[in-house]
Structure 1
Amino acid sequence: MLALQSDLHGNHLLSALPYDEWQALAPHLELVRLRAEQLLYDSGQRIHHVYFPTTAVISILYMMENGGSVEVAAVGREGMTGVPVLTGGEAMPNRVQVQYAGFAYRMSAQALRLHFARSERMQRLMLLYMHALLTQIAQMAACNRHHSLNKQLCRWLLIEVDRVDSYELAVTQQLISEMLGVRREGVTEAAGKLHREGLILHRRGHIRVLDRNGLEANACECYGLVKREFDRLLPHRHRAAVPDAGTVGRPEGEAVCGLTPLHSPSL
């Protein structure tokens, strides 16, 4: 069977659990590869699984009656999807889809509920994460209403850099416009301005961040506020490990394997 690099630190929530709790969770976790734009839950859909991203980035989207959408939160290795299952809910109020292809741990909602009910450490950790996530959602709502598109774009790029852990972003103007809930032409103009100012290198389907400090200086206060809140509530966050390259060839969305305790040399 395939051997995996130690993934204890692949997701920051999982990495914060003591080893005995990780062992209890391990039989219920599957490492899966998620493809870009893969729909994980639609609005009102029952939550059967939750996802703990390691290298994937997942968007939580508010869908409007006219078919438009706006991103209210981005979830990467710092968090998880399917939070309503921890508060007694069974359905997702928003659409959740993969923004960047990558890996995540998948776990049944039922298994997570059971472990959450008997683990005080997990209860505290997840409540802190929910606090941080709600801060992000509330701040994004205010940002989308009150700040200029240029500032929103800087904020969005900074969040993506943090989630992907790279200054190279494979994104299209269409994707950005959908995430921000604005016209594509507005994104073209805003990205062109940042390009001319030397903050990013922008070409079709790709953005490279050249000057992070410059982006932070041009972003609204929302980025800094959300980042500080995550750092304050979840100080255990750190750089994650990447799944072994041997898994990359598997079909997207397919389970790679279950997990065994981390001290095992292979699976």
Structure 2
Amino acid sequence: MCPVSAILDVDADPFSVHMQMQGQAYRIPVADLKAVLVEDREVHRLLARYTQALAVQQAYTALSNAVHHIDERLARWILMCHDRVDGSDISLTHEFMSIMLAVRRPSVTTALHVLEGKKLIYSERGVVSVRNRAGLEAFARDAYGECEKEYERLIGAVVSQPVT
């Protein structure tokens, strides 16, 4: 759900919103969302909790960018994408991953080779396939998991991906 500024009752948001992967989304005018929030306290409560979960995710992303090696950060990001798609294939280019991780594109290629060498993923042009999710989680170590626990605590269980 974005922008969270609507939940926080802020009249403007300096960010642009882009869908990063294929999928479905709904778009409604902010004024209509605000009207629903006034009328339905349960919707407001759920979206407020989502806002908190998003803030935690942003904080952990900043922490991960500061303390984790690119290989672990990439594993974390692939896991987060995997959480949000059906199946094991994720449409991602090296260029896009480099933008999301704020590193040079060759660094992503090298990190993908590390993950492939450990048989955690398979990567081909424009697609990353998760081969061993449990292994990928173990490789990511503490870079992945805390945000997901907080989301589950605040929102509830998510439909988990099958463990391979």
TM-score (norm 2): 0.91
Correspondent of 2:4 among 52, 65, 83: 83
Q: Which runs of 5+ in 1 are unaligned?
A: 1-79, 240-267
Q: Secondary structure at the match of 1:219?
A: helix
Does structure 1 residue 215 correspond to structure 2 residue 136? Answer: yes
Runs of 4+ in 1 over 6 A off after TM superposition: none
Unaligned runs of 5+ in 2: none
> 1:87 Cα shift?
1.2
Distance of aligned partners of 1:105 and 1:131 in 2 relative to their CA distance in 1, 3 Å threshold:
same
Q: Does 1:188 align with 2:118?
A: no
Name the one with the larger helix percent: 2
Distance 1:122 1:98 in 2: 23
* Matched length: 160
Structure number with greater Rg is 1
Separation in structure 1 between the aligned mates of residue 152 and residue 22 of structure 2, nearest angstrom: 25
| Structure 1 residue identity aligned to 2:116 | H
Tell me the CA shift for residue 123 of structure 1: 2.0
What is the deviation of 1:222? 3.2
Q: 2:57 aligns with which of 136, 141, 155?
A: 136
Distance 1:151 1:236, change over 3 A: closer
TM superposition score normalised by structure 1: 0.57
Calculate percent identity across the aligned residue pairs: 35
- The reply on whether 1:103 has 2:24 as its aligned counterpart is yes
Distance (Å, rounded) in 1 between the aligned partners of 2:5 and 2:20: 20
- Looking at structure 1, the residues matched to 21 and 42 of structure 2 have their Cα atoms a distance apart, in angstroms, of 30
Q: Distance in 2 between matches of 1:110 and 1:123?
A: 14
Output the aligned Cα RMSD.
1.4
Counterpart Cα distance in 1 of 2:29 and 2:6: 10
Relative CO higher for 1 or 2, CA cutoff 8 Å, sep ≥ 6? 1
Change (3 A) 1:153 1:236: closer
Q: What does residue range 1-267 of structure 1 map to in structure 2 within 5 Å? A: 80-235=1-156, 237-238=158-159
Quickly say closer, same or farther: Cα 1:236–1:112, change in 2 above 3 A.
Answer: farther
Larger mean CA deviation between 166-175 and 117-126 belongs to 117-126
For residue 65 of structure 2, give the secondary structure of its aligned residue in structure 1: helix
